[in-house]
Homo-oligomer: A and B are copies of this chain.
């Protein structure tokens, strides 16, 4: 889990449950947020490691080894790093798609039952734009379509790897991500304003449904988290 808008509220909800450990990976530390999470439920061991999802696969594996060595087991990986800025084509794809694929690939070293691993659960954060693009941000939307497709494939491989997977796909949520962002080639300079005119949800509503989806833990599930609701979605054929 991370410390962004939805990430922090989701972590707040998660620590209310009886977890043993919550490991937060994010580019930038936020000691106040980590301290707050520890206060909510002192029984949960909350730790933080700096991590940039654009790191090479080998570095990610090293970091995961440190974490697995310390905790012995990890039950679930939540891939939530994301940027929304269609002026930054390469970075959008690197963070939203390649980083998520690499992190998932890296953890397979520790989970894959073909290597004697215990299996695990991957929860990938997509977006409703993965199936209903916001066409003014075609690169962002396509990166999220890739996340949904990738996760569905990983779910179908669970019988081989022992690792299940599902996506949670938030709709427009009142987060810093949508305060202001660039459309592709500035096709719609007012895209952020226009989106915020649409019905939205708070990060808290989104986080509560996020945790519900985690608790449902349905392999291959595609969850839409929009307008304060949690709904399953069918992906193409």
- A-side residues, CB < 8 A to B, are 57, 89-90, 93, 97-98, 101-102, 105, 108, 112, 130-139, 141-150, 152-154, 156-157, 160-161, 184-185, 187-188, 235-237
Q: Is the CB of B98 within 8 A of A93?
A: yes
Query: How far is the CB of A172 from the nearest CB of chain B, in Å?
Result: 16
Decide: B148 and A135 in contact? CB cutoff 8 A: no
Whether A101 contacts B135 by the Cβ 8 Å rule is no
Within 8 Å by CB of A236, from B135, B154, B188, B236, lies B236
Distance (Å) between the CB of A165 and the closest chain B CB? 10
Check A161/B142 contact, CB under 8 A, given A89-B98, A132-B236, A153-B133: no
Residue contact A184 to B105, C-beta cutoff 8 Å: yes
Can you pick out 11 interface pairs between chain A and chain B where the beta carbons lie within 8 Å of each other?
Answer: A93-B93, A105-B185, A130-B149, A132-B237, A133-B153, A134-B153, A135-B152, A135-B156, A136-B153, A136-B157, A146-B149
Give 9 closest A-B pairs by Cβ, nearest first.
A138-B153, A145-B149, A135-B153, A142-B150, A135-B156, A146-B146, A142-B146, A142-B149, A131-B236
Shortest C-beta distance, A195 to chain B (Å), equals: 15
Q: Hey, which chain B residues are within 8 Å of A112, CB to CB?
A: 185
